[in-house]
Structure 1
Amino acid sequence: MAVLHYRFTTSQGFIMNRVTTRFSGGLDQLLTAPSLSSHSSPSALITYFGRLADNFNKLKVSGPDERTNMKSTASSGPFANAHDFVVQNPVMGETVNMIMGGNTALDRLERYIMAEAAADSSARWPPPACHPGTRKTILEMLMKWSNDPERQWKMFWLYGSAGCGKSAVAQTFAEMCIENGRLGAAFFFSRANKRHKPETVIPTIAYQLASYCLEYKAILLSLLSDKPDLLTKSSPVQFTKLIIEPFLRLRSIQQPFVILLDGLDECKGQSAQRSFVKLINDVVRDKKDLPLLWLICSRPESHLQSMFTRITDCGLEEMKIDTECITDVDRYLRDQFYELQIQYEYLTGPEWPSRDQFELISNFGEGHFIFASVVISFVGDEEYANPAERLDTLITSLERGDNDGISDAKPFSKLDALYTTVLEDIPESVFPTTWKILAWHIYSRDLVTSDLMLVSPEELCNILDLSQSAFYGALQKLHSVFYVTAPDRQDNTGYVNFRHTSFRDFLVDRSRSGRFAVEEKAALVDIAKTSLFWHELNSKFDHLAERGLYDRWSSNHRAAFLGLKWIPSRTTQIHKEISSTIACFAHQAVWDACRQTCDPDVNPDILASFLNFDHRHVELDWDWIIFVNHLYQKGCLNDFIRAEPANQADTELVEKLIVMTKGETVKAVDLPLHWGEVYSGSKCREYVLIGHGERTVLVCFTRAPGDIYARYEKLTSDSDSEHFQDQISQYQRWLEKHGWNMQPQTGRGD
């Protein structure tokens, strides 16, 4: 057993007094850490405690007036097998807060990142990468740039046309940097797979930098522990506070870290793209000692080209489709065809493919790696297990398109012909299901926040009311362009992804994809109708929740939806999680999707679905109000929403309202609704009637004086006496609590 004593004070006022540490295991590793003394610098302390942070967080530290013996739970590192660990009478300041709060700060940061955008993310597996022996010139140039201490630029733009292999080069370069300990962070944007939100970029870079640079991690976690609100600030503020200023404090970095942004043109919004370029350019121009290098890869979109050509502190390199590129693509094709030849030797033969077949594919690809990659995936599809036949089919299709003159009419005609061939392989009876899955993957994610996106096969399958076999059968012919995880997993972490953004771009452009087009308005109609179904079903669960029968959102307590087509057999909890995700998605997406389908012209199917929707238990939020007002202004609602009683059932509901308000006056609403607007602070109460027959609901809107939030009270004919009395009691208590009788009621215009 060894006893280590420390007493030290830093210029930041950090003091740890009478620290006694007893170890009977892992001591040799601990003693290799930097020695500390009263003269230790703050950076030395940060480095030291950063190395101990992950293990130290697992231990309880006794306070000034207590002494607690405990055993370490660490299985590795300097505290491996240690026990009887004691820290006595510490006075803890900035650094210890960082250590003890480190996990909390890191967990908080993790909620703001896009983990799927990392170079080694499972969501990108298998990632695009350079085929062995290809792209040597560009990779050697990038490695020389990153290693050269006399480099001219700390910022580099690598650009090229769609499908030329930029992402493969970026991925391979990132992996080379990881091997050399030089990668700081990588963000692989993808518009098709929704890795494109600008607010996630800086937190993701910071999170990855912390995993590669321990000294930076110590500073970052201390900073986030003290100022957690930094994660809600603008990207320029985060860039400065979370990345630039911490790295300016580091003096021990021998070689700069590389930060890679691939596909910047797919970041959401041109203004955000320009902002990132400007932020990076400003820092490489003004902070020349900052130990960071920046590689940006993108298509040469006009707004980016305009910016980069005016920047003098940035290297530029175009990935041209030149002789070397064509040679590299041909090498990839030969190697992959040879692998297929070995795998299916009885179906291909030693001379497969023929010289003519190979040259035709090579000429059609014109040096584009994406074309070659899709060809190999299509020909080698294991579902068919007959590459010779698949290659014949592909060549016939490509030649047919070429003879029709398509190649001269469109810039992506060869790739379009290839994608068309892939889609033509899907049976006509199956394609409507395939279309629906693709439509939801492309458009549904823009309607909700990132935590409610439908990403797993189980979630998509169930919200679309598809069986597992129907779901996977609809995607069976798309293996070359669309990735979906297998169903035999132990959790709900699967995903579906486009293998390349160019396929998504092809689908959404009818001029390119023709009858296979997945256009936004048609997709939103399907999303809106489906969301209406699930939202109405979930509103009935909400009605039960109001009576305390279950927790309305929590996947731990809520009841799972009955009748789901694909019920995972692994655990009941996954069933509940899927149900909760579907409910939350529908709640957040439904009215926005409905509004978009009815703008500018009202879609008759959506209108019919809305008028048939049971509003008795639905939550009337701001998106609902916007949609209803849109329909009202279009003259589509007739008397579905009305301010005055139209029949005996309406009159009875108004009488119930009078009972609930104890005879106080309630004004009939003035249409269109203005309930979501901010009022002057005076109180207001008015009602509206929605629906017909037994589905009629009276909604009473109440806003207390000075309260920015309102209360929506719903009265229906199916509520029993006990529930109604309880509703009255709750409503009256709310009025009393919010000072309803303290001020006279006013109208909207008062």
Structure 2
Amino acid sequence: MAAHLLKLLAFLDIDTTRQAPSVTSSSAIVGYTGGRQESSGLFNHSSNFIISGSTIVNQVTQTSTGNETAINRLAERALPNAFLDSAIRYPPPRCHPETRVELRNSIIQWILDRDRTSNLLWLYGPAGIGKSAVLQTIAEHCKEQNWLGAAFFFYRPTQCDDPHRVCPSIAYQLRASCPAYQKVIDPILVNDPFIPHKALAVQFQTLIVAPLITISSQMMQPIVIIIDALDECSGDRAQQEIISLVFAFANKCRDQKLPIAWIISSRPEWQIVSHFPRIDPSSTCRREKLDVADKQSQEAVHIFLRDGLKDIRDKFSYVFMEPQAPWPTEDQLLVIEMKADGLPLFAETLLRFIGDDSIGNPVGQLEFCLEFLRGNCLPIEVNPVANPLASLYRGILRNVNSRILPTTLQVLYLRVVARSFLPVKFHLKKNMTANFIHLDRALYLSCLRPLHSVLSVDSISGEISFYHTSFEDFIKDIFRSGEFGLTECDMLEKAKPHALQWYELRKREGQWPEEDNIRGEFGVPTLYPLVYELIGNTIQYISLGPVKARAPHMLRFGNVPSPFLNTFGSW
């Protein structure tokens, strides 16, 4: 931009080596020719003319550069997958128009109350009770009213769990929704572009507290900031620190009558429940509990099931021999409602299972649901009443064909359990899972098709997304208990030949670390870490680029170090 300006000034025959009079106090140079005696420019011997905008051009350039710097710094550290309207959350959970009406109205009234006793609301309840649906609905309403400052939805399966990226995400959204905030935050980030990389408390103070206090006199309407599923944030201490920071700032907002309202939701996990009394002994924070036993939860499930089953019947009307016959019957609906026990997630999962397009048989799917909900398809030792959601997940897994169930479980193991002990860079993503265990695309997709009620699979990339983290927790539990006849040890046994094949390939191509760089004894106590490291390094090899899965018979193990072969051979 500066080079273009110099060319323009030369074209106009203006001496750029001399200081223009009044240039710092005016945006125009009036009657100025640069002080030359002789000139051959376009405006030679001209007078009484105006050249406007010379200073303004430079200011716009600086402002534009500053804006770009600020937004880029925030964008680098923000987590767009955790935003209200992110594609990865689509379609997000929402309240049915007829459910949670009383609670939603109460929260809206609290937001509008400038004399509220607390500027922080904690919404809590068990997994699957509908906390995210409530906050999604509240956030969308606030956005329609131009009240929404920011919303952050923690979600472990999509790696939206990093506490150090919460503040940049909130700041990025505040910058977009509040022009006054933008004017304050941009210079801050230009002066110190590494704020988004600093400690959580520093980020919160610099990116959120200070700018919002600065513009407090300009706030004419509520600014709502929502943090959902805090229990899925990585690290108990980080969860507690976020609560402490938000609570302290919310109290300051209350004392200064600022229209900033914070809403946090979580499961009632111990580290969260025990922390609130320490920072809030007087219980000033507003608390809203969602309970499966309360009337609203029961009514929500009843309405959701009723309308959902009606939609399924309308969608698959061609499979019903008698269009006027009731489906489901009142008795069938009663069984489902009793087992759902006030859990909207249970109802949502059940509806996806019954209305699965890949099956196209809602009548048969409903009959199967009723059988396993009554306990007829479960082992005697499994009590379907103790945990209805786990009972539902068991039934869905048992509906998988026994011939492909081991493959399905192996894919789930690598997707869920392996992530808990491998570094992020070793996580299997997209088609890497299929490559690792030598599955072609058709077999990979077919082994996951029966699980479409609990997860979604991108047909192009093969990426797996869980609808709720409770299914991920359930998968970890069944491998710990060996409920389906396969334990974690069995899964490692199945992964062993694949890991060795990839190990041999990488060793052969000269990209594997030398044997003496692999530390630790090869006895039984260190067997798991050894296999984990082996799997992790083969995953790193796959992730280096697009790799075609090799058939097992194409790989030999001549170059594998003997300690590895001995260890695996004796296991």
Tell me if both proteins adopt one fold, taking TM over 0.5 as the criterion: yes
In the TM superposition, what whole-angstrom CA distance separates every residue of 1:468-516 from its partner, at most 9, and x where no partner exists? 21221111001100112232xxxx6x74211011111111113997534
Change (3 A) 1:474 1:405: closer
Contact 1:158 1:317 in 2 (8 A): yes
> Is residue 364 of structure 1 aligned with residue 339 of structure 2?
yes
3-state SS in 1 of match to 2:129: coil
CA distance in 2, matches of 1:365, 1:230: 46
Residue 218, structure 1, aligned to residue 189, structure 2 = no
Task: Kindly indicate whether the alpha-carbon contact (under 8 Å) linking 1:219 and 1:246 is maintained by their aligned counterparts in 2.
Answer: yes
Pick closer, same or farther for the CA change 1:98–1:496 going to 2, 3 Å: farther
Distance in 2, matches of 1:352 and 1:267, equals 42
Match of 2:125 among 160, 167, 174: 160
- Cα distance in 2 for residues equivalent to 1:120 and 1:369: 21
1:441-472 Cα offsets, whole Å, 9 max, x none, are 224545676677544x3344334432221221
Deviation digits for residues 158-186 of structure 1 (CA, Å, limit 9, x no counterpart): 11112111111111111111111111111
Tell me: CA distance 1:539–1:291, structure 2 relative to 1, closer, same or farther (3 Å).
Answer: farther
2:223 and 2:88 map into 1 onto residues whose CA distance is 24
CA distance in 1, matches of 2:393, 2:522: 28
CA–CA separation in structure 2 for the residues paired with 1:472 and 1:355? 36
Per the TM alignment, residue 410 of structure 1 is displaced from its structure 2 partner at its CA by 6.8
Which residue of structure 2 aligns with residue 307 of structure 1? 275
Q: Paired residue for 1:387?
A: 362
C-alpha displacement at 1:354, in angstroms?
0.8
CA contact (8 A) 1:508 1:519 kept: no
Counterpart among 228, 238, 242 of residue 262 in structure 1: 228
The whole-number CA distance in structure 2 between the counterparts of 1:220 and 1:524 is 50
Tell me how far apart the structure 2 counterparts of residues 528 and 227 of structure 1 sit (CA, whole Å): 49
- SS at 1:192 equivalent: helix
Match of 1:320, as an amino acid? D
Contact 2:375 2:384 (C-alpha < 8 Å) held by counterparts: no
The aligned counterpart of 2:330 is 355
What does residue 389 of structure 2 align with? 415
| Unaligned ranges ≥5, structure 1 | 1-14, 22-84, 544-585, 614-636, 641-750
Identify the residue that residue 327 of structure 1 maps to in structure 2.
Answer: 299
Q: Is the counterpart of residue 107 in structure 1 residue 81 in structure 2? A: no
Deviation at 1:368, TM superposition (A): 0.8
How many angstroms does 1:233 deviate by? Answer: 0.8
Residues matched between the structures, number: 486
Q: 1:218 to 1:369 in 2, by over 3 A?
A: same
How far, CA to CA, are the matches of 1:235 and 1:341 in structure 2?
A: 50
Query: 1:377 touches 1:479 (CA, 8 Å); kept in 2?
Result: yes
* Matches of 2:432 and 2:379, distance apart in 1: 42
Once the two structures are TM-superposed, the CA of residue 525 in structure 1 deviates from its matched residue by 6.9
Superposed displacement of residue 262, structure 1: 1.0
**Aligned-partner Cα distance in 2 for 1:604–1:148:** 55
Pairwise CA distance, 1:148? 1.7
- Would the alpha carbon gap of residues 108 and 227 (structure 1) be closer, same or farther in structure 2, given more than 3 Å must change? same
Name the counterpart of 1:253. 219
Q: For residue 466 of structure 1, what is the aligned residue in structure 2?
A: 439
Partners of 2:496 and 2:78 in 1: how far apart?
29
Instruction: Report the alpha carbon displacement of residue 401 of structure 1 after superposing the two structures with TM.
Output: 5.2
How far has the Cα of 1:606 moved from its partner? 3.8
> C-alpha displacement at 1:340, in angstroms?
1.3
Task: Say if 2:241 is the partner of 1:316.
Answer: no
Q: Is the 8 A contact 1:506 1:512 kept in 2?
A: no
Partners in 2 of 1:165 and 1:17 — Cα distance? Answer: 60
What is the identity, as a one-letter code, of the residue corresponding to 2:372? S
Instruction: Point out the structure with the larger helix share.
Output: 2
Distance 1:327 1:356 in 2: 17
CA distance in 1, matches of 2:113, 2:171: 25
Mapping of residues 337-736 of structure 1, within 5 Å: 337-348=309-320, 349=323, 350-400=325-375, 411-412=386-387, 414-445=388-419, 453-455=427-429, 457-487=430-460, 495-510=463-478, 514-516=482-484, 534=502, 537=505, 600-603=525-528, 606=531
CA distance in 1, matches of 2:142, 2:380: 45
Residue 3 of structure 2 corresponds to none
In structure 2, give the amino acid aligned to 1:141: S
- Higher mean alpha-carbon deviation, 433-442 vs 133-142, is at 433-442
Q: Deviations over 1:625-668 (max 9, x none)?
A: xxxxxxxxxxxx9999xxxxxxxxxxxxxxxxxxxxxxxxxxxx
Question: Match of 1:279, as an amino acid?
Answer: L
| TM, length-normalised to structure 2 | 0.75
- Partner amino acid, structure 1, of 2:374: E
Deviation of residue 361 (structure 1)? 0.5
Deviation at 1:330, TM superposition (A): 0.7
Q: Find 2:247's aligned residue among 275, 278, 281.
A: 281
**For the structure 1 residues 278 and 605, does the alpha-carbon distance in structure 2 shift closer, same or farther, using more than 3 Å as the test?**
closer
Greater relative contact order (Cα < 8 A, sep 6+): 2
Gaps of 5+ in 2: 1-22, 30-50, 539-560, 565-571
Deviations 1:599-627 (A, max 9, x none): 833259849979x99xxxxxxxxxxxxxx
Q: Is the 8 A contact 2:372 2:378 kept in 1?
A: no
Tell me the secondary structure at the aligned position of residue 220 of structure 2.
coil
Distance 1:239 1:461, change over 3 A: same
